Structure 1
Amino acid sequence: MKLRKLIADTCRVFDELKIRYALIGGYAAIVYDSPYSTHDIDFTIMADNVTLDLLEHLKNSGWNPTEEYNEVRELLAFGQFIHKETGVVLHIFGEVSGFKIREGIKINKSEIDGYPVNVCSPEDYLIMRASVWYEEDKQKAIVVIRAQGKNLNPDYLMKRADEEKVTERIKWLLKFKK
């Protein structure tokens, strides 16, 4: 089973349960033309509509939780699952450094395995990397800046950078824009 199909199937679960979500992490970078490869799937989800029914739906899609989740807050703190057929790891977060689904956050649609998937914007991908800011994060951000530089919304990017207090890091990254 391909990673793309696992992503699409997981997004179908979120959509069926009316859970707002965004694909983040390595696969979001791939969507934005990064040569990055990944072996896991990362999502942020909005807590508003999440119930423990999500666990059952994910299990029915082949995802086994690595922990016992008795409350939604535990799941949102760090939901981790392993796909029983492939061994692929799925992470579900309520929020991550630099990104939380809320009003005013830009989410893009990208077709993955024939399914429309919500993906964090390239600007928010950069904000997440700037919020963590290890050497690996800088390199991953530079690749996306080079690939997406002409497509970035500078007003939105700088607004988000100010909100997350990473303005100087984003200005530094913009030096690599083509």
Structure 2
Amino acid sequence: MFDELKIRYALIGGYAAIVYDSPYITDDIDFVIMADNVTLDLLDRLRDAGWDPTEEYNEAWELTAFGQFVHKDTGVVLHFFGEVSGFKIKDAIKINKSKIEGYPVNVCSPEDYLIMRAAVWHEEDKQKAIVIVRAQGKNLDIDYLMKRAKEEKVTRRIKWLLKFQK
């Protein structure tokens, strides 16, 4: 759907953690979307796919401020954000392609997942980040991770997390 509408996006949150081998369980699906190409066509496509909005959206920008939908059959909650702490769709951001239930999906990199957790840094975020560091181990791109940590001013937190690397 995003690709058809030419909307740049990335899966973040719990489902991204699951893609990167976390045993995490989540009840919602979170996406960061780039606001530039978002139109109300997205709202129409979501409704056609069974997603009911929890708010009234009259303008496209409202979807990127905080878009929330509930699937009418499954009750799964879907969120859209224009950006979150530590992550925004931009040219230098690494996005990985993954298959989820047979569908190609853009997923934030594990490094950016760690940056998001470090930007928030509550106890739960630390634990979630440690799980990803241990699961991804030597697969992490340390140069990219440290570059992003510097950009987001979370270098100390990332260095601390890397102590848990296998």
TM-score strictly above 0.5: yes
**In structure 1, how many angstroms separate the alpha carbons of the residues matched to 2:86 and 2:132?**
16
Supply the AA of the counterpart residue of 1:177: Q
Supply the AA of the counterpart residue of 1:56: D
Match in the other structure for 2:10 = 22
| Consecutive unaligned residues in structure 1, runs of 5 or more | 1-12
Supply the AA of the counterpart residue of 1:133: W
**In structure 2, how many angstroms separate the alpha carbons of the residues matched to 1:160 and 1:147?**
20
Q: Deviations over 1:30-59 (max 9, x none)?
A: 000000011110000111111011101100
| Consecutive unaligned residues in structure 2, runs of 5 or more | none
1:154 to 133, 139, 142: 142
Length-normalised TM-score, structure 1: 0.92
Q: Does 1:103 align with 2:91?
A: yes
**In structure 1, how many angstroms separate the alpha carbons of the residues matched to 2:137 and 2:113?**
13
Q: Deviations over 1:65-102 (max 9, x none)?
A: 00001112211110000000011000001100000000
Match in the other structure for 1:32 = 20
Q: Per-residue deviation at 1:165? A: 0.5
**In structure 1, how many angstroms separate the alpha carbons of the residues matched to 2:46 and 2:37?**
15
Q: What pairs with 1:54-133 in structure 2 (closer than 5 Å)? A: 54-133=42-121
1:142 to 130, 146, 151: 130
Q: Per-residue deviation at 1:114? A: 1.3
Supply the AA of the counterpart residue of 1:69: Y
Length-normalised TM-score, structure 2: 0.98
**In structure 1, how many angstroms separate the alpha carbons of the residues matched to 2:63 and 2:103?**
25
The number of equivalent residue pairs is 166
Q: Secondary structure at the match of 2:164?
A: coil
